[in-house]
Structure 1
Amino acid sequence: QLMAYDDAVKQGAMALFGEKYSDTVRVVAMGDFSTELCGGTHVGHSGDIGFFRIVAESGVAAGIRRIEALTGDAALAYTQQQEQQLQQVADVLKAAPQEAAQKLSQILDNVRQMEKEIATLRSKLAGIQSTSLIEQAQEIKGVRVLATALENVNVRTLRETLDNFKNQLKSCVVVLGTIEGGKVILIAGVTDDLTVKLKAGDLINFVAQQVGGKGGGRADMAQAGGTLPEKLPQALASVPGWVEQNL
């Protein structure tokens, strides 16, 4: 029905679309469930809508949801496009469309398993590297210092290797670096007996600045990143001097 805007609001009609309304407004009521101001009725009968596909749903205000849909020829075209995309996915997976979801699930399970195996191999590789690298630790004023780069490792493996070095070297300072995806990853560790004088956060920032990055963390462990991988060797080589200066 048509009524004055103020009267419609008094009756509880909701303006849902952020439109500007004239003094006389159209009010649409659907049973006792909803009374709304309407910008205009677009079809004479609901049957005129034909095929109907909901394509989006979102919140527009507290307690109000907006549903967006396609109808008629547009809904048919949308459905056909989805079928084509499903067929393309099925072709890539070498499976029938109705089997595509199951095949993709199997592939993802295999990927997760391989990722676990890769992580295990990386950890073993880091362990092999650490055995030879432990001998490179320098002694500065009674403190063992090791700053070195590892290859083909991720952040998790760096942390595990850092803990391993700290356990073996006892009173020590360790800085490890690696290059992943063209960027530098750094991690520094200081054993608890040395954190009064040497802070891992200060050390990691000193190293990170040289490779175009920054970082932070606790006094005993800190991480950083950088964008200049070519400067990593020089940055790691500066660690013993920093330790000697700050002891």
Structure 2
Amino acid sequence: MEDLANADVLANPACRHYETTKEEAEQAGAIAFFGDKYGDQVRVLEAGPHSTELCGGTHVAALGDIGPLKIVAEGSIGSNIRRIEAVTGTAPIDRLRAAEAVLDQAADMVGVPVDDVLDGVQKRVDELRALRRELDEWKRRVALGRADELAATAADGVVATLVDDIDRDGLRDLAIAVRDRDGVRVAILGTAPKEGGAALVAAVTPDSGLDAGALVVDAAKTIGGGGRSNPEVTMVGGKAPEHLADALEQARAAAHAG
């Protein structure tokens, strides 16, 4: 659309405006804009081969006088009707210069020439993702290193506690590791992940006679969520971390009752 408009601008056809009746203008193909009201006598503007409109404004003598055109927004204004907003004259040049300044700054930030800025940004993004994966793995290993410590807190074979600074996957891995320690038949761990919400995991040994999903079904409601039940390992999540401690106690009570 932008290219078509600029092609007409560059062709620089003369603009013609005249007054006529509304009926004759409509027969000539003039467009009446959505929401505008017109009397019996109207002013018609012809600007190039693609634009014949009803308009009462002041206009240039030739289409090229408006200068380059740049579309800046578009949106719906009715059923099957969209409005395109554009700037002309020196405004597109100002926007281009502003964009070039941002591009120059981005190139400086990633330490590459402007022509290589996309590759430079992608490289930094890939590096950041790799570092985040390494950090998550490091946190997971640190958490797993706490399995013996947590297992030592078992009461009647049940470990139920909150764990800080761990993601959902790490919480699940830690619960399984605690469950697999000697003297533990049930591990129930909860956390409030940095991405938000609350998570609770129950892991039980096959010979415990308990169903992991049944242990946390009520706790899941307490934290305002749910999860997919599995007899040996079930993770539930919710939107209310402020109720996580209460949910943990519910699951602990269910484990001891079982």
Match in the other structure for 1:215:
225
Alpha-carbon shift at residue 180 of structure 1 (Å): 2.8
Alpha-carbon shift at residue 45 of structure 1 (Å): 1.6
Compared CA separation, residues 218 and 202, structure 1 to 2 (3 A): farther
Match in the other structure for 1:56:
73
* TM value normalised by structure 1: 0.69
1:103 is paired with a residue whose SS is helix
Compared CA separation, residues 57 and 39, structure 1 to 2 (3 A): farther
Alpha-carbon shift at residue 78 of structure 1 (Å): 1.6
Q: 1:188 aligns with which of 194, 201, 204?
A: 201
Match in the other structure for 2:95:
78
Match in the other structure for 1:211:
none
1:18 is paired with a residue whose SS is coil
Compared CA separation, residues 66 and 200, structure 1 to 2 (3 A): same
How many angstroms apart in 1 are the aligned matches of 2:106 and 2:115? 11
More strand as a share of residues: 1
| AA matched with 2:219 | L
Matches for 1:1-247 after TM superposition, within 5 Å: 2-4=20-22, 8=26, 15-25=32-42, 40=57, 42-61=59-78, 63-139=80-156, 144-164=157-177, 172=186, 174-178=188-192, 180=194, 185-189=198-202, 194-195=210-211, 198-206=214-222, 208=223, 214-219=224-229, 220-226=234-240, 228=242, 236=248, 239-241=251-253, 243-244=255-256, 247=258
Give a deviation string over 1:63-100, Cα, whole Å, max 9, x none: 54433222112222222222222222222223332232
How many angstroms apart in 1 are the aligned matches of 2:215 and 2:52? 65
How many angstroms apart in 1 are the aligned matches of 2:220 and 2:210? 15
How many percent of aligned residue pairs carry the same amino acid? 28
Aligned-pair RMSD on alpha carbons? 4.1
The count of aligned residue pairs is 232
Structure 1: segments with no counterpart, 5+ residues:
209-213
Alpha-carbon shift at residue 102 of structure 1 (Å): 2.0
Alpha-carbon shift at residue 46 of structure 1 (Å): 1.0
* TM value normalised by structure 2: 0.66
| AA matched with 1:4 | K
Compared CA separation, residues 77 and 29, structure 1 to 2 (3 A): closer
How many angstroms apart in 2 are the aligned matches of 1:170 and 1:11? 87
Native 8 Å contact 1:122 1:153 kept in 2: yes
How many angstroms apart in 2 are the aligned matches of 1:151 and 1:194? 26
Native 8 Å contact 2:107 2:114 kept in 1: yes
Larger radius of gyration: 2
2:237 is paired with a residue whose SS is strand
